[in-house]
Structure 1
Amino acid sequence: MIDTVAWVRIEGGRILCARPRGKGVFYIPGGKREGAETDLQTLVREIEEELTVLLDPETAVHTGTYEAGGPGLPDGAVVRMACYTAEYRGELLPSSEIEEMAWFSYADRERVPPVDQLLFDDLRAAGALR
């Protein structure tokens, strides 16, 4: 099990995605827990590291948890992604570990990993992603 936390930021019917340096695929911003971090501690740390903004943990809302395997993972490995919305302070800018960020619509679904695609499907069904 690969345990991750992701920040769901939607503006104008599009979701924020990021492509790490040296990778060809975009992901929902976030990352893996370090040590005994809580979901929110992981989320705040990862988003500050990746996109240089500070999330407000008091505004965080869990929006769902998704699990999926996928290409490039060891046999039988599954990614679990706990998703949260939250307000932020600062200007969204890719850090040195992020090659680029982009706002994706549902039409971009195939450009993200399988676990992220599950989130795209739910957001589309809820009318949040165009």
Structure 2
Amino acid sequence: MTPTVEVVAALIRDAAGRVLLVRKRGTAAFMQPGGKRDAGEDDVTALARELDEELGCIPVEGSVRALGTFEAAAANETGWRVRAAVYAASVTGAITPRAEIADMIWVDPASPPDICIAPLTRDHVLPLAAKQVAGHG
């Protein structure tokens, strides 16, 4: 059985509909901001904590909406899978890479740039975001 890491992840958009991706220090792949739940945390609490730690922003109250749970090969843990509960969220506060985040980029989900993108983001989150932009979701 393949080991699986469980995380929460945020789909954050700017006014132009682009999606925020981050890259952790010492890694190559861009992905959704988020991370592992601490003991006793529900998804929304974990997501708010991770966004504050990683980017210095917090979800706007009432804006967090479940998009589904998706699974893919883990980008940074060879031989592992990642299972992410993905949530759309509007955020407040300046978005600035902090903690383990080395870089961030806003991408058009229908036409992402030629960069290394985590399998979960590439195969599930960006296609979902592209469909929503096109008015299908």
Q: CA deviation at 1:57?
A: 4.5
Amino acid across the alignment from 1:116: T
The CA distance in 1 between the partners of 2:114 and 2:44, in whole Å, is: 26
**TM score, norm. by length of structure 1:** 0.85
**Is 1:107 equivalent to 2:112 in the alignment?**
yes
Q: Which residue of 1 aligns with 2:93?
A: 90
Q: Which residue of 2 aligns with 1:13?
A: 17
The CA distance in 2 between the partners of 1:109 and 1:8, in whole Å, is: 20
CA contact (8 A) 2:59 2:91 kept: yes
Q: Which runs of 5+ in 2 are unaligned?
A: none
Structure-2 change in CA distance of 1:58 and 1:13 (3 Å)? closer
Q: Secondary structure at the match of 2:35?
A: strand
The CA distance in 1 between the partners of 2:35 and 2:9, in whole Å, is: 7
Aligned positions, number? 127
Richer in helix (by share): 1
Amino acid across the alignment from 1:121: P
Q: CA deviation at 1:19?
A: 1.0
Q: Secondary structure at the match of 1:126?
A: helix
Q: Which residue of 2 aligns with 1:68?
A: 72
Question: Percent of aligned positions with the same letter in both sequences?
Answer: 31
Amino acid across the alignment from 2:132: A
The CA distance in 1 between the partners of 2:106 and 2:30, in whole Å, is: 10
Cα root mean square deviation, aligned: 2.0
Q: CA deviation at 1:127?
A: 2.8
Runs of 4+ displaced beyond 6 Å: none
